[in-house]
Structure 1
Amino acid sequence: MKLLMPSATGVEVVRAFVAMYRGKMIQSTSADVIDYPGVLYNVTGSTKDPKAVKGYKGLAWKALLKEYPDFYETSCYVTNPILSKRATSHPGFDVGGHMTPNPSGVVQRGADSYLMPLCKWHNSTRRNGTAFSHSKTKVLKLRGYMEGDSAITFAMRMGNNHAHTLLFLAPGSKKWDFIALSDAVKQGFDRVPLKAILTSPIQEYAIFEKRDDGFYIVSSNISEGGSKD
Protein backbone atom coordinates (compact mmCIF):
# COMPACT_ATOMS: atom_id res chain seq x y z
CA MET A 1 0.00 0.00 0.00
CA LYS A 2 1.48 3.32 -1.06
CA LEU A 3 0.69 6.09 1.38
CA LEU A 4 -0.47 9.43 -0.01
CA MET A 5 1.86 12.36 0.46
CA PRO A 6 1.20 13.98 3.82
CA SER A 7 -0.02 17.38 4.77
CA ALA A 8 -1.56 19.12 7.75
CA THR A 9 -0.84 18.03 11.26
CA GLY A 10 -0.38 19.73 14.61
CA VAL A 11 2.54 22.16 14.36
CA GLU A 12 3.35 21.96 18.07
CA VAL A 13 3.11 18.15 18.10
CA VAL A 14 5.82 17.86 15.44
CA ARG A 15 8.02 20.41 17.21
CA ALA A 16 7.74 18.45 20.45
CA PHE A 17 8.53 15.18 18.66
CA VAL A 18 11.71 16.63 17.13
CA ALA A 19 12.77 18.10 20.48
CA MET A 20 12.14 14.75 22.22
CA TYR A 21 14.16 12.62 19.80
CA ARG A 22 17.02 14.89 18.78
CA GLY A 23 20.16 12.75 19.16
CA LYS A 24 18.17 9.55 19.74
CA MET A 25 17.29 6.60 17.51
CA ILE A 26 13.80 6.77 15.97
CA GLN A 27 12.35 3.49 14.77
CA SER A 28 11.30 2.70 11.23
CA THR A 29 7.57 2.12 10.84
CA SER A 30 5.11 -0.14 9.08
CA ALA A 31 1.37 -0.80 9.20
CA ASP A 32 -0.69 -3.89 8.38
CA VAL A 33 -4.38 -4.73 8.60
CA ILE A 34 -4.93 -7.68 10.94
CA ASP A 35 -7.76 -9.39 12.83
CA TYR A 36 -7.77 -8.62 16.55
CA PRO A 37 -10.90 -9.79 18.43
CA GLY A 38 -9.66 -9.16 21.98
CA VAL A 39 -10.42 -6.17 24.22
CA LEU A 40 -8.32 -3.06 23.69
CA TYR A 41 -7.50 0.05 25.74
CA ASN A 42 -6.72 3.64 24.78
CA VAL A 43 -3.01 4.30 24.58
CA THR A 44 -1.91 6.92 27.09
CA GLY A 45 0.18 9.76 25.66
CA SER A 46 -0.79 9.27 22.00
CA THR A 47 -1.34 12.34 19.85
CA LYS A 48 -4.81 13.42 18.80
CA ASP A 49 -5.95 13.95 15.24
CA PRO A 50 -5.29 17.60 14.38
CA LYS A 51 -8.04 19.87 13.18
CA ALA A 52 -8.39 19.97 9.43
CA VAL A 53 -6.60 22.78 7.63
CA LYS A 54 -8.62 24.34 4.83
CA GLY A 55 -7.13 23.59 1.43
CA TYR A 56 -5.30 20.42 2.45
CA LYS A 57 -6.55 16.87 2.63
CA GLY A 58 -4.61 16.32 5.84
CA LEU A 59 -2.87 13.17 6.95
CA ALA A 60 -4.38 12.62 10.37
CA TRP A 61 -4.55 9.20 12.01
CA LYS A 62 -8.10 8.88 10.66
CA ALA A 63 -6.82 9.54 7.14
CA LEU A 64 -4.13 6.91 7.62
CA LEU A 65 -6.84 4.36 8.45
CA LYS A 66 -8.89 5.38 5.44
CA GLU A 67 -5.97 4.59 3.13
CA TYR A 68 -7.06 0.97 3.60
CA PRO A 69 -10.32 -0.39 2.08
CA ASP A 70 -11.26 -2.13 5.34
CA PHE A 71 -11.93 1.27 6.91
CA TYR A 72 -13.60 3.15 4.03
CA GLU A 73 -17.14 2.92 5.41
CA THR A 74 -17.33 2.19 9.11
CA SER A 75 -18.22 3.61 12.51
CA CYS A 76 -16.84 3.67 16.05
CA TYR A 77 -15.85 0.10 16.85
CA VAL A 78 -16.69 0.10 20.55
CA THR A 79 -19.68 -2.04 21.53
CA ASN A 80 -19.62 -1.44 25.31
CA PRO A 81 -23.01 -0.36 26.74
CA ILE A 82 -23.17 3.44 26.96
CA LEU A 83 -24.85 4.83 30.06
CA SER A 84 -23.88 8.48 29.60
CA LYS A 85 -26.13 10.94 27.75
CA ARG A 86 -23.00 12.89 26.80
CA ALA A 87 -21.82 10.28 24.31
CA THR A 88 -23.45 12.15 21.44
CA SER A 89 -20.52 11.57 19.07
CA HIS A 90 -21.03 7.80 19.16
CA PRO A 91 -21.16 5.87 16.83
CA GLY A 92 -19.36 8.28 14.52
CA PHE A 93 -15.95 7.55 13.05
CA ASP A 94 -14.28 10.74 14.27
CA VAL A 95 -10.67 9.72 14.83
CA GLY A 96 -8.12 6.99 14.46
CA GLY A 97 -7.71 5.80 18.04
CA HIS A 98 -4.44 4.32 19.30
CA MET A 99 -5.08 1.09 21.17
CA THR A 100 -3.16 -1.49 23.18
CA PRO A 101 -4.03 -4.76 24.95
CA ASN A 102 -2.20 -3.38 27.99
CA PRO A 103 -4.77 -2.21 30.62
CA SER A 104 -2.39 0.54 31.78
CA GLY A 105 -2.46 2.07 28.31
CA VAL A 106 1.34 2.12 28.16
CA VAL A 107 3.09 0.99 24.98
CA GLN A 108 6.70 0.07 25.65
CA ARG A 109 9.34 1.22 23.19
CA GLY A 110 9.44 -1.20 20.27
CA ALA A 111 6.08 -2.79 21.14
CA ASP A 112 3.18 -2.97 18.70
CA SER A 113 0.09 -0.80 18.99
CA TYR A 114 -3.15 -0.74 17.05
CA LEU A 115 -5.25 1.86 15.30
CA MET A 116 -9.03 1.57 15.00
CA PRO A 117 -12.01 3.84 14.29
CA LEU A 118 -13.36 5.63 17.37
CA CYS A 119 -15.80 8.39 18.16
CA LYS A 120 -14.54 11.38 20.14
CA TRP A 121 -16.29 10.19 23.31
CA HIS A 122 -14.52 6.83 23.40
CA ASN A 123 -11.22 8.42 22.38
CA SER A 124 -11.30 10.77 25.39
CA THR A 125 -8.64 10.39 28.08
CA ARG A 126 -11.55 9.94 30.51
CA ARG A 127 -12.00 6.49 28.95
CA ASN A 128 -8.36 5.50 29.59
CA GLY A 129 -8.23 2.20 31.47
CA THR A 130 -11.60 1.08 30.09
CA ALA A 131 -11.60 -2.27 28.29
CA PHE A 132 -13.23 -1.75 24.90
CA SER A 133 -15.06 -4.67 23.33
CA HIS A 134 -15.60 -4.55 19.57
CA SER A 135 -17.47 -6.78 17.13
CA LYS A 136 -15.50 -5.49 14.14
CA THR A 137 -12.07 -7.07 14.30
CA LYS A 138 -10.06 -5.46 11.50
CA VAL A 139 -7.49 -3.10 13.02
CA LEU A 140 -4.30 -1.49 11.75
CA LYS A 141 -1.24 -2.89 13.49
CA LEU A 142 1.42 -0.21 13.88
CA ARG A 143 5.10 -1.11 14.23
CA GLY A 144 7.63 1.47 15.28
CA TYR A 145 5.10 3.87 16.83
CA MET A 146 7.00 6.15 19.20
CA GLU A 147 5.75 8.21 22.13
CA GLY A 148 4.63 11.57 20.76
CA ASP A 149 4.45 10.38 17.15
CA SER A 150 2.16 12.37 14.88
CA ALA A 151 0.59 10.88 11.78
CA ILE A 152 3.07 12.70 9.56
CA THR A 153 6.23 11.69 11.45
CA PHE A 154 4.98 8.08 11.48
CA ALA A 155 4.14 8.15 7.77
CA MET A 156 7.47 9.79 6.87
CA ARG A 157 9.35 6.74 8.19
CA MET A 158 6.96 4.18 6.72
CA GLY A 159 8.76 2.22 3.98
CA ASN A 160 11.27 5.08 3.66
CA ASN A 161 14.66 3.84 2.46
CA HIS A 162 16.05 7.24 1.44
CA ALA A 163 19.35 8.16 3.08
CA HIS A 164 18.03 11.60 4.06
CA THR A 165 14.53 13.06 4.33
CA LEU A 166 13.63 16.69 4.92
CA LEU A 167 10.60 17.47 7.11
CA PHE A 168 9.68 21.12 6.71
CA LEU A 169 7.15 23.85 7.46
CA ALA A 170 6.61 26.80 5.13
CA PRO A 171 6.39 30.33 6.63
CA GLY A 172 2.97 31.10 8.08
CA SER A 173 1.80 27.59 7.30
CA LYS A 174 0.22 24.85 9.41
CA LYS A 175 1.20 22.28 6.81
CA TRP A 176 4.18 20.00 7.33
CA ASP A 177 5.58 18.22 4.28
CA PHE A 178 8.54 15.96 3.61
CA ILE A 179 10.74 15.18 0.64
CA ALA A 180 13.77 12.98 0.04
CA LEU A 181 17.10 14.80 -0.15
CA SER A 182 19.99 13.82 -2.37
CA ASP A 183 23.35 13.41 -0.61
CA ALA A 184 24.66 16.50 -2.41
CA VAL A 185 21.80 18.64 -1.17
CA LYS A 186 22.12 17.30 2.36
CA GLN A 187 25.86 17.96 2.54
CA GLY A 188 25.49 21.52 1.37
CA PHE A 189 22.02 22.20 2.72
CA ASP A 190 22.89 25.57 4.25
CA ARG A 191 24.52 26.76 1.02
CA VAL A 192 22.05 25.45 -1.56
CA PRO A 193 19.35 27.96 -2.59
CA LEU A 194 16.07 26.78 -1.14
CA LYS A 195 14.32 27.32 -4.47
CA ALA A 196 16.54 24.56 -5.87
CA ILE A 197 14.92 22.13 -3.45
CA LEU A 198 11.40 23.40 -2.79
CA THR A 199 8.67 25.42 -4.41
CA SER A 200 8.28 27.55 -1.27
CA PRO A 201 10.58 28.90 1.47
CA ILE A 202 11.27 26.98 4.68
CA GLN A 203 10.50 28.35 8.13
CA GLU A 204 11.33 25.24 10.18
CA TYR A 205 12.97 21.99 9.18
CA ALA A 206 14.53 18.77 10.40
CA ILE A 207 16.69 16.40 8.37
CA PHE A 208 16.26 12.70 9.19
CA GLU A 209 19.07 10.27 8.30
CA LYS A 210 18.26 6.60 7.71
CA ARG A 211 20.70 4.18 9.32
CA ASP A 212 20.67 0.42 9.82
CA ASP A 213 18.94 0.64 13.19
CA GLY A 214 16.47 3.43 12.40
CA PHE A 215 16.32 7.19 11.81
CA TYR A 216 18.30 10.02 13.42
CA ILE A 217 17.76 13.78 13.31
CA VAL A 218 21.07 15.14 12.01
CA SER A 219 20.13 18.79 11.44
CA SER A 220 17.24 20.97 12.57
CA ASN A 221 16.27 24.54 13.41
CA ILE A 222 13.14 23.39 15.25
CA SER A 223 12.68 23.98 18.94
CA GLU A 224 9.61 22.98 20.94
CA GLY A 225 8.59 26.61 21.08
CA GLY A 226 9.18 27.27 17.40
CA SER A 227 11.95 28.09 14.98
CA LYS A 228 15.31 29.16 16.36
CA ASP A 229 15.90 31.40 13.34
Structure 2
Amino acid sequence: MDLQNRINQVKERMNAACIRSGRKMDDVQLIAVTKYVGVEETRAVMDHGLLHIGENRWQNAKEKWEQLHNRGTWHFIGHLQTNKVKDVIGKFTYIHSLDRVALADEIEKKAAALDITQQCFIQLNVAGEESKYGLDPEQLFELARHVSQLPHLQIVGLMTMAPLETDAEATRPVFRELRRLRDELNDSGILNYEVLHLSMGMSGDYEVAIEEGATWIRVGSAIL
Protein backbone atom coordinates (compact mmCIF):
# COMPACT_ATOMS: atom_id res chain seq x y z
CA MET A 1 0.00 0.00 0.00
CA ASP A 2 1.45 3.37 -0.98
CA LEU A 3 1.66 6.45 1.22
CA GLN A 4 -1.49 8.11 -0.08
CA ASN A 5 -3.55 4.97 0.49
CA ARG A 6 -2.21 4.59 4.03
CA ILE A 7 -3.06 8.21 4.80
CA ASN A 8 -6.52 7.77 3.30
CA GLN A 9 -7.09 4.66 5.40
CA VAL A 10 -6.10 6.45 8.61
CA LYS A 11 -8.37 9.39 7.79
CA GLU A 12 -11.28 7.08 6.98
CA ARG A 13 -10.87 5.32 10.32
CA MET A 14 -10.58 8.68 12.08
CA ASN A 15 -13.81 9.81 10.44
CA ALA A 16 -15.60 6.61 11.42
CA ALA A 17 -14.48 7.04 15.04
CA CYS A 18 -15.72 10.63 15.00
CA ILE A 19 -19.11 9.53 13.65
CA ARG A 20 -19.43 6.84 16.33
CA SER A 21 -18.73 9.38 19.07
CA GLY A 22 -20.78 12.24 17.64
CA ARG A 23 -17.76 14.39 16.84
CA LYS A 24 -16.55 16.27 13.78
CA MET A 25 -13.35 15.44 11.91
CA ASP A 26 -12.24 19.02 12.46
CA ASP A 27 -12.15 18.28 16.21
CA VAL A 28 -9.16 15.94 15.79
CA GLN A 29 -5.72 16.81 14.41
CA LEU A 30 -3.37 14.17 13.01
CA ILE A 31 0.32 14.36 13.88
CA ALA A 32 2.51 12.32 11.51
CA VAL A 33 5.27 10.82 13.64
CA THR A 34 8.38 10.82 11.48
CA LYS A 35 10.96 9.87 14.11
CA TYR A 36 12.06 6.71 12.27
CA VAL A 37 12.34 8.17 8.76
CA GLY A 38 14.59 10.65 7.00
CA VAL A 39 14.21 13.94 5.19
CA GLU A 40 12.75 12.59 1.95
CA GLU A 41 10.11 10.45 3.65
CA THR A 42 9.14 13.41 5.83
CA ARG A 43 8.99 15.65 2.79
CA ALA A 44 6.69 13.13 1.10
CA VAL A 45 4.38 13.12 4.11
CA MET A 46 4.15 16.91 3.93
CA ASP A 47 3.62 16.80 0.17
CA HIS A 48 0.57 14.63 0.91
CA GLY A 49 -0.89 17.31 3.15
CA LEU A 50 0.14 16.15 6.62
CA LEU A 51 1.73 19.30 8.04
CA HIS A 52 1.82 18.46 11.75
CA ILE A 53 5.09 16.60 12.28
CA GLY A 54 6.04 14.72 15.46
CA GLU A 55 9.62 14.04 16.54
CA ASN A 56 10.98 12.66 19.81
CA ARG A 57 14.71 13.49 19.69
CA TRP A 58 16.42 16.62 18.45
CA GLN A 59 19.38 14.73 17.04
CA ASN A 60 17.00 12.73 14.83
CA ALA A 61 14.87 15.77 13.93
CA LYS A 62 17.65 18.26 13.26
CA GLU A 63 18.24 17.66 9.54
CA LYS A 64 14.52 17.34 8.83
CA TRP A 65 13.69 20.52 10.75
CA GLU A 66 16.49 22.50 9.09
CA GLN A 67 15.24 21.61 5.62
CA LEU A 68 11.48 21.53 6.15
CA HIS A 69 10.59 23.57 9.24
CA ASN A 70 8.87 26.39 7.35
CA ARG A 71 6.40 23.99 5.72
CA GLY A 72 4.56 22.79 8.80
CA THR A 73 4.00 22.73 12.55
CA TRP A 74 6.47 20.76 14.64
CA HIS A 75 5.62 18.80 17.77
CA PHE A 76 8.20 17.50 20.22
CA ILE A 77 6.63 14.31 21.56
CA GLY A 78 9.52 12.49 23.28
CA HIS A 79 11.03 12.67 26.74
CA LEU A 80 12.84 16.00 27.03
CA GLN A 81 16.00 16.26 29.11
CA THR A 82 16.50 19.61 30.79
CA ASN A 83 19.84 20.17 29.03
CA LYS A 84 18.18 19.64 25.63
CA VAL A 85 15.56 22.36 26.06
CA LYS A 86 17.85 24.84 24.30
CA ASP A 87 17.67 22.72 21.14
CA VAL A 88 13.87 22.53 21.11
CA ILE A 89 12.70 25.98 22.20
CA GLY A 90 11.88 28.26 19.28
CA LYS A 91 11.69 25.35 16.85
CA PHE A 92 8.81 23.20 18.05
CA THR A 93 5.44 24.92 18.40
CA TYR A 94 4.29 22.28 20.88
CA ILE A 95 6.09 20.24 23.53
CA HIS A 96 3.97 17.22 24.49
CA SER A 97 6.17 15.91 27.31
CA LEU A 98 6.26 18.40 30.19
CA ASP A 99 6.41 16.17 33.26
CA ARG A 100 8.33 17.90 36.05
CA VAL A 101 8.99 21.24 37.71
CA ALA A 102 12.67 21.40 36.71
CA LEU A 103 11.73 21.02 33.06
CA ALA A 104 9.04 23.70 33.35
CA ASP A 105 11.56 26.09 34.86
CA GLU A 106 14.09 25.48 32.09
CA ILE A 107 11.45 25.94 29.40
CA GLU A 108 10.40 29.19 31.05
CA LYS A 109 13.99 30.40 31.21
CA LYS A 110 14.72 29.67 27.54
CA ALA A 111 11.34 30.94 26.31
CA ALA A 112 11.79 34.19 28.24
CA ALA A 113 15.18 34.70 26.60
CA LEU A 114 13.51 34.37 23.19
CA ASP A 115 10.48 36.42 24.27
CA ILE A 116 8.06 33.69 23.21
CA THR A 117 5.31 31.70 24.91
CA GLN A 118 5.95 27.97 24.68
CA GLN A 119 2.85 25.81 24.34
CA CYS A 120 3.08 22.57 26.31
CA PHE A 121 1.13 19.45 27.14
CA ILE A 122 1.58 17.97 30.60
CA GLN A 123 2.46 14.30 30.12
CA LEU A 124 0.78 11.99 32.62
CA ASN A 125 1.58 8.33 33.19
CA VAL A 126 -2.07 7.41 33.64
CA ALA A 127 -1.47 3.67 33.39
CA GLY A 128 1.34 3.77 35.97
CA GLU A 129 3.77 1.85 33.77
CA GLU A 130 7.32 1.90 35.09
CA SER A 131 8.69 1.76 31.55
CA LYS A 132 7.00 5.00 30.52
CA TYR A 133 7.75 8.62 31.28
CA GLY A 134 5.15 10.99 32.59
CA LEU A 135 3.97 12.61 35.78
CA ASP A 136 1.96 10.71 38.36
CA PRO A 137 -1.61 11.99 37.93
CA GLU A 138 -1.75 12.82 41.65
CA GLN A 139 0.93 15.47 41.02
CA LEU A 140 -0.92 17.19 38.19
CA PHE A 141 -2.35 20.03 40.24
CA GLU A 142 0.98 20.71 41.94
CA LEU A 143 2.73 21.11 38.59
CA ALA A 144 -0.15 23.18 37.22
CA ARG A 145 0.11 25.58 40.17
CA HIS A 146 3.81 25.98 39.49
CA VAL A 147 3.26 26.57 35.79
CA SER A 148 0.60 29.18 36.56
CA GLN A 149 3.42 31.39 37.83
CA LEU A 150 5.49 31.04 34.64
CA PRO A 151 4.48 33.73 32.13
CA HIS A 152 6.25 32.23 29.10
CA LEU A 153 4.73 28.76 29.38
CA GLN A 154 1.14 27.86 28.49
CA ILE A 155 -0.51 24.51 29.14
CA VAL A 156 -2.65 23.69 26.10
CA GLY A 157 -3.49 20.11 27.01
CA LEU A 158 -2.65 16.81 28.66
CA MET A 159 -0.81 13.92 27.01
CA THR A 160 -0.54 10.22 27.77
CA MET A 161 0.63 6.96 26.24
CA ALA A 162 -1.57 3.93 26.78
CA PRO A 163 -0.11 0.46 27.34
CA LEU A 164 0.56 -1.57 24.20
CA GLU A 165 -2.47 -3.87 24.03
CA THR A 166 -3.46 -6.56 21.57
CA ASP A 167 -7.04 -5.36 21.89
CA ALA A 168 -7.23 -1.57 21.51
CA GLU A 169 -10.45 -1.57 23.53
CA ALA A 170 -8.35 -2.27 26.63
CA THR A 171 -6.83 1.22 26.34
CA ARG A 172 -10.19 2.97 26.75
CA PRO A 173 -9.99 3.47 30.56
CA VAL A 174 -6.62 5.23 30.18
CA PHE A 175 -7.94 7.71 27.63
CA ARG A 176 -11.15 8.24 29.58
CA GLU A 177 -9.15 9.03 32.70
CA LEU A 178 -6.98 11.59 30.89
CA ARG A 179 -10.11 13.38 29.74
CA ARG A 180 -11.46 13.34 33.30
CA LEU A 181 -8.21 14.78 34.62
CA ARG A 182 -8.28 17.58 32.05
CA ASP A 183 -11.85 18.44 33.02
CA GLU A 184 -10.92 18.35 36.71
CA LEU A 185 -7.97 20.65 36.06
CA ASN A 186 -10.26 23.12 34.32
CA ASP A 187 -12.81 22.93 37.12
CA SER A 188 -10.08 23.64 39.69
CA GLY A 189 -9.38 27.12 38.31
CA ILE A 190 -5.66 26.72 38.97
CA LEU A 191 -4.88 28.11 35.54
CA ASN A 192 -6.54 31.34 34.44
CA TYR A 193 -7.42 29.84 31.05
CA GLU A 194 -9.11 26.70 29.75
CA VAL A 195 -7.01 23.67 28.84
CA LEU A 196 -8.60 22.37 25.66
CA HIS A 197 -6.55 19.53 24.26
CA LEU A 198 -5.88 15.83 24.77
CA SER A 199 -2.85 14.35 23.00
CA MET A 200 -3.55 10.61 23.09
CA GLY A 201 -3.77 7.71 20.73
CA MET A 202 -1.17 6.18 18.43
CA SER A 203 -1.24 3.80 15.47
CA GLY A 204 -2.73 0.88 17.40
CA ASP A 205 -5.35 2.69 19.44
CA TYR A 206 -6.14 6.10 17.93
CA GLU A 207 -9.75 5.17 17.13
CA VAL A 208 -10.52 4.46 20.78
CA ALA A 209 -8.69 7.65 21.76
CA ILE A 210 -10.86 9.68 19.38
CA GLU A 211 -13.99 8.11 20.84
CA GLU A 212 -12.79 9.22 24.28
CA GLY A 213 -12.09 12.81 23.27
CA ALA A 214 -8.61 13.00 21.74
CA THR A 215 -7.95 16.28 19.96
CA TRP A 216 -4.46 15.30 18.77
CA ILE A 217 -3.45 11.78 17.74
CA ARG A 218 0.16 10.77 17.12
CA VAL A 219 0.38 8.26 14.26
CA GLY A 220 3.61 6.82 12.90
CA SER A 221 3.66 3.21 11.72
CA ALA A 222 0.11 3.24 10.28
CA ILE A 223 1.31 5.93 7.85
CA LEU A 224 5.03 5.24 7.46
If the length of structure 1 is used for normalisation, what is the TM-score? Answer: 0.29
Q: Which has the higher strand share?
A: 1
If the length of structure 2 is used for normalisation, what is the TM-score? Answer: 0.29
Q: Which structure's relative contact order is higher, taking Cα pairs within 8 Å and 6+ residues apart?
A: 1
